[in-house]
Structures are given as C-alpha cells and as structure tokens.
Chain A
Amino acid sequence: MCDQTFVAVTFGPCDSCSKASPLMNIYIKNEPINYCSFCVEMMACQGLQKGETLASLKRECDNLKKKLEEERGKLNDVELHQVAEKTEVLGALSVKTRRVLKGHGNKVLCMDWCKDRRRLVSSSQDGKVIVWDAFTLNKEHGITLPCTWVMACAYAPSGCAVACGGLDNKCSVVPLSLDKTENLAAKKKSVAMHTNYVSGCTFTNSDMQLLTCSGDGTCALWDVESGQLLQSFHGHTADVLSLDLAPSETGNTFVSGGCDKKANVWDMRSGQNIQSFESHESDINCVKYYPSGDAFASASDDATCRFYDLRADREVAVYQKDSIIFGASTVDFSLSGRLLFAGYNDYTINAWDVLKGTRVSVLFGHENRISRVRVSPDGTALCSASWDNTLRIWA
C-alpha cells in the first residue's frame, strides 16, 4: 500500500560505470537514466577549475598521500618494539574484579570517573544516568532522560555536575544536588545541539566548556553558561565516534576518531585540523591520549588497537592477535602509559604492553560486549561498562 505511483530504481548497476551502488535518477536530454552518485558528480563537474576534472583531482590527491607516506617513512629509523627490547618483560597482571555495579536496567553505554577517584557517572540505553560512589556501591544520583541510547556522559571537573547526551542530538549538563526530593532532570540544561546523535562528550579544564562529537560528522566546543557554539571542527567525512582532550602543557588540542577510519588532531582555538592518521581498516570507535600527550591510541572494528606518535607523525604500533577477531570498542592507558586496556565485542578486556606490543593479560567477567573502559584518575583501578547492564571495577 506504499506509493508505487512511480517506479524508481534505487540500487543496481550504474548506467555509466556499471558498478552496483545506490543510484540517482537523473535526466539527460529528456531521458531518465540511473547513475551512481560518483558518476553524476563526474558529469556535473565538467567545468571544475581550469582543466581539472574530478579524475585529475583524485590523481593529485593520491600522489600527495603517497608522498606524505614517503616523507613519514624517511625518519622511521627504528621500531617501537626494538627500542623496547631493553625493558623488562611484564608478568601477568594480578587484576581481579573488586566491585560489580548493578542497577542499570539496560546496556551501559558510557562511564566517566569523578576527580575524587571513587565516584563515577554511567549512562545506559534506557535513558538512565546514574552517579555512583563506586567504593561503597552507593547510587547517589539518578537522572532519567527523555531519550534512549545515552551514548555519552562526562563528570564535570568540580564534581558538581554531569553532562550527558545521545540519540536526542543534544548534550545536556545536569547540576548534581544532594536534595533527595529534587528531580535532577528538571534542572537539566541543553548545551550542545547537533544534527545527529551525540557520540562523545568531555568537559575541558573547567565546568564552563564542553567538547562534543557527533554522528553529524563534526565536533564542537560549547560555552556551558550560554549554550553558545564557540568553535566547530569539520573534516571528518562520516560519523565521529570518540574524542579525547590532550594532557599537554598548552592544553589546546584534542583528537577525534570516526567511521571514516580517520583519527584527526585539532587545534581548539582555530578549529583547524592539525594532523590526520588513516591506517585502520574499519571504523575507529575510541581514541585516547598517552599520558605524556605525545601519542594516542585507537580502538577499531578491525579488531586492532593502534598507537600513533604525534611528533614522528605516524603509526608506531599495532596491537593485534589472530585469536582476536571481534572489534575493539574502547581503550585507556594505565597511569604510566605502559599498559593499554582495550575492551572488545567478544566480552573481554585485553591488557597490552604498549612498548613491546604483546598482550599481558585477558580479563574475563562481563557477559556482553564492553562499551567503555576507563582507568581511575589516580590509576588505582580500571572501570569497565558493558552491554550486560553492569559496570565492573578491576584492581
């Protein structure tokens, strides 16, 4: 009973290049034809720029990329695991589950530690955001949001508020009140507005600014007080799934990763894309800085985690194993940066020796995929959030 008032081909072989793809129905000289979007643009760009065609642009782009790889390779005089040969081999970790936080009624999608090293905030698919004292297992605050899939949550540096957002395309800040009778959701303040889901958020060095990333392909910096957009970051060509603030002295950059397989480093002041890395074979689900700020790690659907050196401007390690075939969704470093904890879709957490590139331990316990791992601010524990509705504290 759906409209078939006109039949239009939506998918199939392109009339121009014969590749099977989604088709656009256009008219050439009164005749309807079906071209794939690339061919349509090829045709439309007849007068590109003084003799340029889309094909010649693409050629120039590929050449430049190759040249860039060559330049990067020139300074590549040693590999990380070679330099790490002199460091001692790590024994297996004696890390165990010390707490299980039960209370969410659905998949836990995100969590963030409070600076006080024991509290944390978590958000889940059913729209609930919970603030816990993880040490005592007390639930201190509960916020119910009108939207489902709260994919992003963050604790404010002061400990007095949390930010959360997701499928509502917004990121809101909720001040935490100790008055038990108060409905926290009523005090919720919308700060960020995107045109697609919000996948990640973090406060910058104070409660006053919020950095978000979204399925609309952009990241944005917001003023919490006024809700004003301070800066937006364009460059990703698909959904942005994760971001992390650099712990650098000058505190002006952050890294983002997305479905275009790229990890981009941005200047917060100018909005410019400073560096870009494209070596993963699938979506990048998470990015996290090395504690010194000179590198970052990424987790991807291609079942690998990678380590990128910002000063050498290249990927310097790949953490993978034949036996690991499920995508990695999240990563975080231990305090010294020697260990990299990565959560996977096969319900496990793997601990990698960052320098040697070997796996040190596997942490079992969750009963569904891991959505987030975060080491506590003083490095005493690791928290993992999972689609099995629980969070675990490991130490």
Chain B
Amino acid sequence: MKEWNIKCVNSFSMEKVIVAMQDPDMGMKMRNQRLLITVIPHAMTGRDVIDWLIQKYNICEEEALHVGGMLVRYGYIYPLKEPRSLVLRADETPYRFQTPYFWTSTRWPASELDYAIYLAKKNIRKQGELMEYEKERYSLLHKRINHTWDFVVMQAREQLRASKQRRKADRIVLECQEQAYWLINRPPVRSLTLHYSAVLYHTIESCRRALGRNRVKSSICLEGFVKFSEQYQNHDPIMQGCLPSNPWISDDTAHWTMNSEIVPVPTRLRVERWSFSFMELLNDPIGRREFMTYLEKEFSAENLCFWQACEDIRHGESSKIIQKVEDVYKNFLAPGAARWVNIDSKTMDKTLEGIKHPHRFVMDDAQLHIYFLMKKDSYPRYLKSDLYKNMLAKAIVPQETKKSVFPFMRRQRHSSPSPAQAVTQVTEEDGRAMGAGKAGTNSAAGSHV
C-alpha cells in the first residue's frame, strides 16, 4: 500500500500531532470512561480533542474539526461507543488513542490472513457476532485461502486463549483497538487486497495469457509512429503554428471561429484530415454529414444510421437501453425492417439471442461488423468521389495574420457562450433568450464568437 500519506497527507505529521496530544505535560487531559459496566481508562471526549487542537495550533473550530476528523479517519483515534461511525463529534462522545501497534503506517500490509484470523476470533468468541458483510467476507476468505484454514483457526484459538489471561479491562481495550483497526482497513464497503499466493497466481495467469498473444514486429510498429507523426505534423499547432494565427498568441479567435463544429465551409486542413482515417471522418460532425450524404447516394445510409444508433446505446443512459435496443431491432434488424442492415448470419443470430436480455454491449458485434464494412468499402470510395474532391477544392485556406504593427496594443479578448448554456433555464423576464444557446446536450460543445 503506497503511503499516499507521504505524498500529501503525511502520516508523519499526523503521528506528530498524536504524540503531542499524549504528552504528559502539554497533552490532553484523560479520564476514565464507563462503557457499559466496565471502566475504560485513558479516554477523552470529542470536545476535549477539538479544544486541545484549537489551543495548541491556534486554529478555528472548523479547521480543528477537520484535522481531528482525519485523525479518526486514519485510525489514530477511535470512537468507543459507535465504532462504525468514524467521525469526530465535538461533544461528550468518548474516544481513545489507537495503540502504535495498530497504526496504519506500522502495521502494513493488512493481509487477508490477518483479517481471516480476526474474523475467526470474533466468530469463535461469540456465535452470531459477525455482521452481515463480515459473514460474507468470512466465507469468501474460507474459499479463497482454504489451504491456510487450519492455520487461521489455530491462530484464532491461540490468540483468544492468550487474551483470556489478561485483565478484563485490558481485554476490552484490546478488542476495541482491534475492531477499530479493522473498521479502517476493511471498511464495510467492498475493497480488495491480495496476499502473496493470490498475487502470484494472478501474475502467472496474466503471463500465460501474454505469452499466447500475437505480437507485431518492432520495425512495423515503429514505422507506424514515424508515419503518423509525419502525417499530422502540419496539423500540430505547437509545432507548425496554425492559420490564421494561434488564438492564445494573437488574442484573435478567428482560428476557432473557422473551425467551429458546424461551419458553412470547412478549412482545407480539416477536410484533409478526413482522409487520414475512417475515425477522423466520423469524429467530425461535418465529415459525418458529408459521408451520410454520400451513402444516401449509394443507398447504404442505413449502415451509418445503425452505427450511430448503436453508439447511442453504448454511451447513453442505462435507463434507456431497453427501449433503444428495441427501436434498433425494429428499424434495422427485424425481417422486413425499413432500414435493414446486412449482417452475416452468425453475428445476426448471436445479436438476436442477446436482444432477449438487452444490455449496453448487446449490439457490439453487429456494430463492429457494420463499422468495418463501411471502413473497408464505402470509406475508400468516398475519398475518391467527386463529393469529397469538391469539398477539398472549395475548402478555405486562411491567410496568415501578420503580426500587429503596434505590438504593444493588445487585442480585446472576447468571451464566448458557455456550453453549459444549453441546459440553463431561460428566464423570459426580458423576453430575450440568453445568447445563441446550442441545442443537443450530447454533441461536443462548440461555442465560439
């Protein structure tokens, strides 16, 4: 477990606070607390903790609550009455210091074996004392580390026997401390840590899988990177600049305006990019629209419509999946459907079977099939078509803006409508809609002056 503590929270500084709190002279005043019929020594109230922090570090109540809260959350102080509520209350609620033996920084890692022994002890000590989530974990552990179970039970018995030899107050204190430790390290919400044999099994399995995978020769892969970077170099503003100018340098937003989501005439660089890969074409709303127009001419537009509908299922709200899958089936897959798509029979059968229990990825195979169909067939033909060539020919090549004659005069930086405007309630008080709010919350925001 990485000590994120060291990275930011710093367990060392938390421990310094704890040690200062227990200083015999300047530390906190301790008292005995009654817990049922037993008296627990060395306890303090939440109020005591807050007051001490305020006084010692000269901070306000809110900050003291925050710092104190961290001490509880990381297990250096634990609550006596409600052990599961890991908060610091600024009242008479009793707390105790956790023994350094159980400090997160020293007791590391908290292994499954440890936890199993703890649960076994609880189980043996009093039947039915395990909480629901503990019972679940106990049986899960029993399955997972079954080969160590004799050891677990033996240890649990030994530790219980040893603790019986202590005074009752000490025994209760130890139980409290241990419980507090495990509440921090195995909170009720599910978590997972692996111990050595499990880690090894896992690594062995992933090594075996990796050995079975297909690899591509380095020369081919690396050549690919060189080609990619070359192809995109002119499109990389940091390397080659951009036309008419980089808005961040010139304070002129013309570049963004010309490259908005939807423009009457796109720039040449943008249209060129559509030829780099099928994904580039589809990712550009204008490109996608042009491609749709082309497909309509070829009477295969249903492919792109189907693909879009599948994307909508994959990335949309969970609650709408069932309805959307039904619509897709009706429109594209059912025999005699208005926009029937041509999928191979194996994929079709698998998809139809999956539709009986619709889920987010049920259309994946069919969608991929149609995607590759378009990519291998329609896309290359589109790039050779007059439609595309005309687009390229009439595309804009912006003039480079010359540097200002008066370099000391800075252009005014215009603001732009926020994409969040689309969802803000428009007040009709002055009868004017706020800005040119873009409709359609799913599309990428394109707000430019």
Q: Which residues of A contact B (CB under 8 A)?
A: 1-6, 8, 10-11, 22, 24, 26-27, 30, 32, 37-38, 40-41, 43-49, 54, 57-58, 60-61, 64-65, 67-68, 71-72, 75-80, 83-84, 86-87, 90, 93, 95, 98-99, 114-119, 125, 133, 135-138, 140-141, 148-149, 157-161, 167, 175-179, 193, 195-197, 204-209, 215-218, 223, 225-226, 228, 230, 234-235, 237-239, 249-250, 258-259, 269, 273, 275-276, 283, 290-292, 294-295, 309, 311-314, 316, 334-339, 354-355, 375, 378-382, 393, 395
Given contacts A68-B211, A83-B223, A87-B230, contact A336 B235 (CB under 8 A): yes
Q: In the assembled complex, which residues on chain A have CB atoms less than 8 Å from the CB atom of B425?
A: 179
A-B CB contact pairs (8 Å), 11 listed: A6-B170, A8-B101, A46-B150, A49-B147, A86-B226, A118-B247, A215-B4, A235-B202, A269-B364, A295-B225, A337-B228
B139 at the interface (CB under 8 A from A): no
Q: In the assembled complex, which residues on chain A have CB atoms less than 8 Å from the CB atom of B220?
A: 311
Given contacts A61-B203, A149-B8, contact A381 B248 (CB under 8 A): yes
Name the distance in Å between B437's Cβ and chain A's nearest Cβ: 10
Interface of B is mostly: helix
Q: Is the CB of B238 within 8 A of A208?
A: no
Chain B 245-269 per-residue mask, 1 if CB under 8 angstroms from chain A, else 0: 0111100010110010000000000
Q: In the assembled complex, which residues on chain B have CB atoms less than 8 Å from the CB atom of A46?
A: 147-148, 150-151
Partner of B415, one of A27, A76, A136, A235: A136
Report which residue of B97, B239, B423, B444 has the largest number of chain A beta carbons within 10 angstroms of its beta carbon: B239
Name the distance in Å between B112's Cβ and chain A's nearest Cβ: 9
Q: Is the CB of B371 within 8 A of A68?
A: no
Q: Is the CB of B221 within 8 A of A312?
A: yes
Q: How distant is the Cα of A30 from the Cα of B101 in the complex, in angstroms?
A: 21
Q: In the assembled complex, which residues on chain A have CB atoms less than 8 Å from the CB atom of B193?
A: 217
Q: Is the CB of A177 within 8 A of B151?
A: no
Given contacts A75-B215, A235-B206, contact A176 B221 (CB under 8 A): no
B390 at the interface (CB under 8 A from A): no
Partner of B420, one of A167, A178, A316: A178
Closest residue on chain A to residue B148 by CB atoms:
A44
Q: In the assembled complex, which residues on chain B have CB atoms less than 8 Å from the CB atom of A259?
A: 2
Q: In the assembled complex, which residues on chain B have CB atoms less than 8 Å from the CB atom of A290?
A: 225, 228
Name the distance in Å between B423's Cβ and chain A's nearest Cβ: 5
Number of A-B contacts (CB under 8 A): 370
B436 at the interface (CB under 8 A from A): no
Interface of A is mostly: loop
Q: Which residues of B contact A (CB under 8 A)?
A: 1-2, 4, 8-9, 22, 24, 27, 30, 42, 66, 96-97, 99-101, 106-109, 111, 113-114, 145, 147-148, 150-152, 155, 158-159, 161-162, 166, 170, 173-174, 177, 187, 189-197, 199-204, 206-208, 210-211, 213, 215-226, 228-233, 235-239, 242, 246-249, 253, 255-256, 259, 278-279, 311, 314-319, 360-361, 364, 368, 371, 375, 413-416, 418-425, 434, 441-448
Partner of B213, one of A41, A239, A313: A313
Given contacts A3-B177, A64-B204, A159-B418, contact A27 B159 (CB under 8 A): yes
Given contacts A75-B215, A176-B420, A216-B191, contact A2 B99 (CB under 8 A): yes
Q: Is the CB of B416 within 8 A of A116?
A: yes
Q: In the assembled complex, which residues on chain B have CB atoms less than 8 Å from the CB atom of A86?
A: 226
Q: In the assembled complex, which residues on chain A have CB atoms less than 8 Å from the CB atom of B361?
A: 269
Q: How distant is the Cα of A67 from the Cα of B284 in the complex, in angstroms?
A: 44
Q: How distant is the Cα of A228 from the Cα of B319 in the complex, in angstroms?
A: 11
Q: Is the CB of A309 within 8 A of B442?
A: no
Q: In the assembled complex, which residues on chain B have CB atoms less than 8 Å from the CB atom of A22?
A: 106-108
Q: In the assembled complex, which residues on chain A have CB atoms less than 8 Å from the CB atom of B441?
A: 158, 160, 207
Partner of B42, one of A3, A67, A335: A3
Closest residue on chain A to residue B110 by CB atoms:
A37
